[in-house]
Amino acid sequence: MDTPVQELISLSSPELWKSRLKELPHQFGHTWEHCQAMHLSTGQPTYLYYFKVAGHTILCPISERTYQGHTDIVTPYGFNGFITNGDYQLFNIHWKKFMKSKGYVCGYFGLNPLWPHDLGFPANEINVYSEIHELNLTQPLQTLISQMSENRKRQLKKMERIRNNLSMDKEKLTGFFLEQYENFIQAKSASRVYHFSTSALKLLVEQDNVFMTGYIDNEKVEAVSVFGYTNYAADFLFNVNTVYGKETSFALIWMAIEKLKSMNIPLLNLGGGVKNGDALSAFKKRFGGEIKSLASVQQVYDPEVFQQLCIESGVDMNQKGYFPPYRLKTH
């Protein structure tokens, strides 16, 4: 078995991070800028894991979390996970050996939904927990329209009535987004994972490869949607709206579709719901895109410490659901 190159590239080395990322198709969630923003919010040390052997290249952002003096690892919030230039079933052997050498207790990693590959993870370590909705923007606009639900087609016709109220003026929309985000999230009783610091959000929206679509009425911003993109794909990142602006959600996404097609970005990941099959997921499904599974890998590298932490936390180490189970009470 060939010995691979494996390294963890720190956020303190942005140029090396960006250079490595150029080797593979990737999403906005893999970028240094996105991971730096998440670091500003969580404070967690974050790295780009880099693997190369015999023509195989694999990348994945990871963040370190400490608990009772021990460290576990996780993929940062967002759509990232493992990206590669092809299947490599021996990867999991190399990966686990490297993670054990770093002294990590366990790991929870998202699998990339847009470009899935077989990296040798056993079925009992993979958890399929949700789904996303992907639009193929290489199709003609009329084809995209034909795939939408009848309700979406009616909304598209009505969109022309408010076309003059739609804006992509980042300067006008940023203030509303930053000021209203936290209140909007709190009103939704969203999980703590969606509560980002203002500095993190500000860094994200300042990026050249992030744009906003918004609805303005009587010079008042009522709704904003945020999208991040690379040359390979775009992601629907955030939406914030007032009660009055809620009905413009479709128009803001369609406006983004028009812009992305003009830039020849091939894919738009609309994401999924907060829970699989909820109203938000149904809203995105009506765009007619391809449904793809959202899955994670759950691994234990130090079984003895893992078991002890579960015992001390009063949880069953074999229970299904939140991983690692010893962190459930801090979730």
Output the tens digit of pLDDT for each of the chain's 331 residues.
678 999 999 999 999 999 999 999 999 999 999 999 999 999 999 999 999 998 999 999 999 999 999 999 999 999 999 999 999 999 999 999 999 999 999 999 999 999 999 999 999 999 998 899 999 999 999 999 999 999 999 999 999 899 999 999 999 999 999 999 999 998 887 778 888 999 999 999 999 999 999 999 999 999 999 999 999 999 999 999 999 999 999 999 999 999 999 999 999 999 987 777 788 888 899 999 999 999 999 999 999 999 999 999 999 998 888 899 999 876 6
Coil, strand or helix at 2: coil
Q: Quick one: 163 exposed, middle or buried, by C-beta within 10 A (0-12, 13-18, 19+)?
A: exposed
Can you spell out the DSSP letters for 51-75?
EEETTEEEEEEEEEEEETTEEEEEP
Q: 95-138, pLDDT tens digit by residue?
A: 999 999 999 999 999 999 999 999 999 999 999 988 999 999 99
What is the CB-side half-sphere exposure of residue 298 using CA atoms within 13 A? 17
| Strand 126-136 with 267-269, pairing | antiparallel
Identify the structural domains of the chain with CATH numbers, from first to last.
5-121+301-330 (3.40.630), 133-292 (3.40.630.30)
